[in-house]
Amino acid sequence: MRHVKALLIAGAALAPTFAAAVPIRSTPSLPIPAPAAGDMRATLRSALERAQAGDCAGALGLLDPLVAGLQPGPDRTGVQLLRLPCLAAAGRASDAQAAQTELAAAVPDNALVRSYGVMLAAVGGRFAEAAQKLEAIATEQPKALELVSGASWGGIAQKLTEARETRLRGRVSVALARAAWEPADRPDMKDGVAQDAIRTLLADKQASEAELLLARIDTPELLAEMATERAYAPLWPAIEARMGAAQGQVVDRFAAARLDAFARADDPRARRDAVRAFVLLGRLDDAIELAVPVKVDTGMDDDDIATVRYQAQAMAAKGQRPAAIARLEAFAALDLAQMPRAASGLIQLAEMLDEADRPADALRVAQAAMTGGKAALSPWGMAWLRRTEVCALSALKRPEAAAKADALAASAKENEAAAVEGLLCAGRMDDAARIAVATLSSSEGAARIVDQFQPSGSLWAAAPSRLRSLWVPLLARADVKAAFDKTGRILPKAYWPAPTPRPIPRAGGQSRAPTA
């Protein structure tokens, strides 16, 4: 979690959420059944108006009695179509599932019905079923993807990854990439989808189609990751050409687009992306300054949280670790019962305290976050806190460190990188090596750990790190080096970020000379 790529994937530290892409109030085309007449038609119109105004309780108060007296047919189908979004929004999952199942039989090609089929399967914990339904939509009715949120697929993909259902996840990614899906709530998700699709196509020896999808990836961190994993080796020349020397081409494209978007709309997401753009450009002072207005409080959203975390990383990279810690300590003042998603900020704070040789404070923050963040953190995110706990206990020479390290090793599949690092902190090199070698034995495992072996010079905004230095002697071991070379490589120096700030790029390819 020490560098920009780690912050990019920090969303995986949080437990997934599932939602429809389009709010009920934004769906004015929900049908009023034509055969309905008189009082029933008036009731349906009133229910629709209430649903669109966000009053699902009022809408369902009108619709629930109505549907009970209707036989299968157009009128009942129309009523159920009105009920379905409100049932889901009201948390009536079993009733929503019953309505969706009925509608899937009555109007199997209805985009709303199919999209809620995906969401409700995910809400019910049936993630493989949700993925299969989404794959079918992408293949058969790609227009209907407009009603599927990026947050939903992100959550489903996360759960498939945790369950090691990577083949199914890859199949869905291929279907979504072929459909050129770009979800409105998370437009950058197209990059990750394309990356996963490319990996899947290369495994199936379909390199030509895989290379075509490279054009969908504009995220510098993802291209750098692909350039270090041998699963993508057939495309390394194309990936390197897309990155350019010192990754300048991809960074300039990314930064120009994000800075232009921020100039046109100062909203939390645009600010987050602009701060990240400045970090990638090596313009850390600009990144720090741009994030200053973001307050750490209960009103912040996930984009604000990410902005503060990028700012803290930039501060640490500038040698301002005390200031970075002070900025992140505001997360510790929040009530996680009210703001559980702020736990992701505490992961970074705990690690930074450990890096600052403040193990007692790191232990306090990590344990508080583990207790208060249970509802919000994924097993992957929780493992980073458990890593910090082991590192801090080991530094403090506390007797419980051994048992905590044992538990972290036993659950290594939740987050192999965290387990390896915790064991290295505890001085258990052989145990760490065993996990590293096993993880590196597959391309999927390599994707979860290869970045940890990369030298600091290959990373953006990398602060001096005692934790990263622990991986150097690990890679020097013959068994680990042999496993690493089979599935990964160190990023070639020609593509390491330049040590000096890049000019600010302009949309259209021009650049402005640095002013600071």
Token readout for 293 is 């207005």
Considering the chain, what percentage of its residues have pLDDT values greater than 90?
84
The rounded distance, in Å, linking the Cα atoms of 352 and 465 is: 9
Mean pLDDT of 342-353: 95
What pLDDT was estimated at residue 56?
93
Mean pLDDT of 8-34: 50
pLDDT > 90? residue 375: no
What pLDDT was estimated at residue 511?
53
- Bridging pattern class, strands 511-512 and 504-505: antiparallel
* DSSP three-state, residue 267: coil
Model confidence band, residue 266 (pLDDT cutoffs 50, 70, 90): confident
| Lowest mean pLDDT segment, chosen from 35-39, 157-161, 362-366 | 35-39
For the stretch 408-427, pLDDT in tens is 999 999 999 999 999 999 99
Residue 383 near residue 407 (C-beta atoms within 8 A) = no
- Beta-bridge partners for 377: 14
What average pLDDT does the chain have? 91
Report, in this order, helix, strand and coil percent for the chain, each rounded to 5: 70, 0, 30
Considering just the CA atoms, what is the radius of gyration of the chain in Å?
25
Chain-centre distance for alpha carbon 274? 18
Nearest to 255 by CA among 244, 136, 9, 109: 244
The rounded distance, in Å, linking the Cα atoms of 179 and 167 is: 19
Give the number of other Cβ atoms within 10 Å of residue 339's Cβ.
19
For the stretch 68-125, pLDDT in tens is 889 999 989 999 999 999 999 999 999 999 999 999 999 999 999 999 999 999 999 9
DSSP 8-state symbol, 459 = S
The rounded distance, in Å, linking the Cα atoms of 51 and 26 is: 10
The rounded distance, in Å, linking the Cα atoms of 73 and 54 is: 27
pLDDT > 60? residue 509: no
What pLDDT was estimated at residue 514?
42
Q: In the chain, what is the straight-line distance between the N-terminal and C-terminal CA atoms, in Å?
A: 28
pLDDT > 90? residue 341: no
For the stretch 33-81, pLDDT in tens is 444 445 788 888 899 999 999 999 999 999 999 998 899 999 899 999 9
Token readout for 23 is 């709010």
* DSSP three-state, residue 148: strand
Give the number of other Cβ atoms within 10 Å of residue 372's Cβ.
20
Nearest to 10 by CA among 403, 231, 328, 475: 328
Kindly report the pTM of this predicted structure. 0.90
Q: How many CA atoms lie within 13 A of 453 on its CB side?
A: 28
| Lowest mean pLDDT segment, chosen from 76-80, 201-205, 252-256 | 76-80
Which residue pairs from 287-290 have beta carbons closer than 8 angstroms and sit at least 24 positions apart in sequence?
A: 287/311, 287/314, 288/314, 288/315, 288/318
Residue 516 near residue 285 (C-beta atoms within 8 A) = yes
Nearest to 350 by CA among 313, 387, 377, 317: 387
Residue with tokens 């600052």: 356
Residue 484 near residue 440 (C-beta atoms within 8 A) = yes
Residue 474 near residue 433 (C-beta atoms within 8 A) = yes
Model confidence band, residue 2 (pLDDT cutoffs 50, 70, 90): low
What pLDDT was estimated at residue 69?
86
